[in-house]
Amino acid sequence: MATESSDPCSPAVAAPRPERAVAEAPADEQGPAISSAQLLAGRPCVTIDHQGVNYVLRATRAGKLILTK
């Protein structure tokens, strides 16, 4: 059994997936782009809650983004 880590950048135990699929919004309904700098706000990673599931978005030293469950 996994335990929750005190490190906010550590992936959390995944919640069950929603049973229904969500259609992707057409390009004109996506709204303006949000910069990664705005999302991360100077932190190495940020947790994003999407439909009850936590994801961790982290920036690498090489300037790439990694999204994990």
Per-residue H/E/C for the chain: CCCCCCCCCCCCCCCCCCCCCCCCCCHHHCCCCCCHHHHHCCCCEEEEEECCEEEEEEECCCCCEEEEC
Domains of the chain (ranges; CATH) run 36-68 (2.10.70.10)
> Could you list the pLDDT tens digit for every one of the 69 residues in the chain?
444 556 667 655 544 555 555 666 666 678 899 999 999 999 999 999 999 999 999 999 999 999 999
> How high is the pLDDT of residue 10?
65
pTM for the whole structure: 0.59
